[in-house]
Structure 1
Amino acid sequence: MLFDTHTHINDEVFDEDFSDVLQRARDSDVGRMIVVGVDRPSMERVFPIIDRYESAYGAIGWNPEDAVDMTDEDLEWIRSNLKHPKIVALGEIGLDYHWDKSPKPVQHAVFRRQIRAAKEAGLPIIIHNREAVEDTERILREEHAEAVGGVMHCYSDDWTWAQKFINLNFYISFGGTLTFKNAQLQRETAAQVPLDRLLIETDCPYLSPHPFRGKRNEPARVRLVAEKLAEIKRLPIEDIEKITTKNANRCFHIA
């Protein structure tokens, strides 16, 4: 069984063929997935999915690009909904310096508040880090995020930083970019990440793996990520399936 640890199948782009998307996932042996919400509309769309489908679990959190829009009411809404039995993480949260909508101090404050909420709830966190690795690591360390740990989502930095995050009780998750021709850094990093700290994801509908790059991504294609990881680790695909699924269940406290 494969476990896609990061999907946005709550996105409207899946509305027309949602059942077909899930069937293709089942046909590819994707037995579990995390549905991630990043603002109020997308978070609200997580719950009907996780309530209806046994294979789907949820994560809710305010994304850093829109940090400037998060209100105290939004944070309280997140806190209260973390109690749902199938919400298994707070995220995706973190820092994004690629876009300039939300000033860095605002992103930092929103990030810290959500880390504290996750610690209060006893839930792992899913980290979005784009062009902000130093501040991401520093804030996680200062907030003692290792108490709950979590996932470095769609990891794109080097092994030196990966070690720092692993030491903070985080798993390193690779997505479709691992299959891209220009992703040598990710492949070099994946080769060094210990097997017990590896996760796989699609981040669908984004970052579709080769040979579907540029097309809408979906959970079934997490198999292509697993195949590339098996190639990098020189292991049978069946081993990567078992290892990454076991890691995901451990990370998200799923029996």
Structure 2
Amino acid sequence: MTSGFFDSHTHLDEEVFGDELGDVIGRAHGAGVKWMVTIGAGATLDTSRRAVELAQREETVWATVGIHPHHADLVSDTAIEELTALAKRPKVVALGEMGLDFHYDFQPVELQRDAFARQIELARELDLPVVIHSRSAERECLDLLCAGGPPKRRGIFHCYTGDVATAEAILARDFWISIPGIVTFKKAAEMHALVEALPLERLLIETDAPYLAPHPHRGKRNEPALIVHTATKIAEIKNASLDEVAQVTACNAWQAYFFDRHHHGSPNVS
């Protein structure tokens, strides 16, 4: 039995869970998932509102609020005002997910950059960490985060699929990297090499549920209970025990969301 998993990035507000959400959370607890962060990132600010409401109801769930780069056109003075108010609600632990996506390019690049920059500035003002979406734009995200000085509380590059050199630059700037279920895929050699190269002490784990279900559930609806597959693969790559991966990545998630990078204590995750 492990000390407990921390799913650092999930989307429990998604309609696909519907009336099953209670069962999904129950299965997570049964699988040893003790902590979850549900991410505000939908096509409207309703996603962030629902994330906050869910965190109020569920003891083991926290929330983030933010505007995804796919919906960068939502960012306005009014939206920033509402994000500010939502971010001050109890159990909101970060802003995001925010960032850049040059893979799908659903929004013009300059619009994405502006939306990202405005949310970074809000994170500085509120002293909150950030959750970063950086698909095919990892280096660009890091550069924009560090222009004018990165947020004091730094944050997490979620679902990281970039190269090792950029990952090392991210870690050198005191950000964290979160590993998704992609690491379990048989042909994910680059992801395996990434995990092998990076120190476990700087990694988080996530499901990104309901997306990116790990092997052997690939192609099906993902949920937090399946994070055990991701942790097991990381343990295999790092030649570590499953309990060590669970405990270290949980401590890392607590540090990322709740403490400054140089906090001198460690949460009790046993």
Please report the TM-score for the alignment, with normalisation by the length of structure 1: 0.97
Match of 2:186 in 1: 181
Gaps of 5+ in 1: none
Contact map agreement 1:116 1:143 (CA 8 A) in 2: no
Name the SS of the counterpart of 2:134 in structure 1.
strand
In structure 2, the partner of 1:246 is: 251
State the distance in 1 between where 2:252 and 2:103 align.
Answer: 30
Identify which range, 141-150 or 122-131, moves more after superposition.
141-150
Q: Number of residues paired by the alignment?
A: 255
Match of 1:93 among 95, 98, 105: 98
Instruction: Identify the residue that residue 48 of structure 2 maps to in structure 1.
Output: 43
Matched letter for residue 33 of structure 1: M
The correspondence for 1:169, drawn from 166, 174, 180, is 174
Structure 2 residue 224 is matched with structure 1 residue 236: no
1:105 corresponds, among 103, 110, 114, to 110
Cα pair 2:204 2:252 within 8 Å, conserved: yes
Task: Give how far 1:192 is off.
Answer: 1.4
SS at match of 2:170: helix
The alignment's C-alpha RMSD in Å is 1.2
Tell me the secondary structure at the aligned position of residue 167 of structure 2: helix
Q: Which residue of 2 aligns with 1:14?
A: 17
What's the offset of the Cα at 1:146? 5.0
Cα distance, 1:186 vs. partner?
A: 1.0
User: Is it true that 1:69 corresponds to 2:78 in the alignment?
Assistant: no
* Aligned partner of 1:31 among 31, 34, 48: 34
CA contact (8 A) 2:35 2:60 kept: yes
Q: Residues 39 and 65 of structure 2 are in contact (CA less than 8 Å); yes or no, is this contact kept in structure 1?
A: yes
- How far residue 195 of structure 1 moved from its aligned partner, in angstroms, is 2.0
Please, which of 130, 147, 151 is the counterpart of residue 142 of structure 1?
Answer: 147
| Higher alpha-carbon deviation: 227-236 or 96-105 | 96-105
Shift of 1:157: 0.8
- Secondary structure of the residue that 1:151 maps to in structure 2? strand
Counterpart in 2 of 1:196? Answer: 201
Q: Is the 2:40–2:47 contact (alpha carbons within 8 Å) kept by the matching residues of 1?
A: yes
| Structure 1 residues 25-48: Cα deviation after superposition (integer angstroms, max 9, x where no partner) | 011000000010114121111122
TM-score with structure 2 length normalisation? 0.92
Separation in 2, partners of 1:33, 1:195: 19
CA distance, structure 2, for counterparts of residue 138 and residue 240 of structure 1: 30
Instruction: Give runs of ≥4 in structure 1 deviating > 6 Å.
Output: none
Shift of 1:143: 3.8
Q: Distance in 1 between matches of 2:148 and 2:117?
A: 7
**What is the distance in 1 between the residues matched to 2:244 and 2:71?**
39
TM-fit CA distance, 1:85: 2.5
| Identical-pair percentage | 38
Once the two structures are overlaid, the 10-residue window that deviates more, 189-198 or 239-248, is 189-198
Residues 112 and 143 in structure 1, CA contact (< 8 A), matched pair in contact too: no
Q: What are structure 2's unaligned runs of at least 5 residues?
A: 260-266
Paired letter, 2:167: A
- Contact between 1:90 and 1:123, CA under 8 Å: does it hold in 2? yes
2:264 alignment partner in structure 1: none
What is the CA-CA distance between 1:61 and the residue it aligns to? 0.7
**Superimposed CA distance per residue, residues 132-164 of structure 1 (whole angstroms, 9 cap, x where no aligned partner):** 123212111214225221111001011100011
Aligned twin of 2:158: 153
Does the residue aligned with 1:190 lie in a helix, a strand or coil? helix
Give the CA deviation at 1:97: 1.3
- Does structure 2 retain, via aligned residues, the 8 Å contact 1:7–1:219? yes
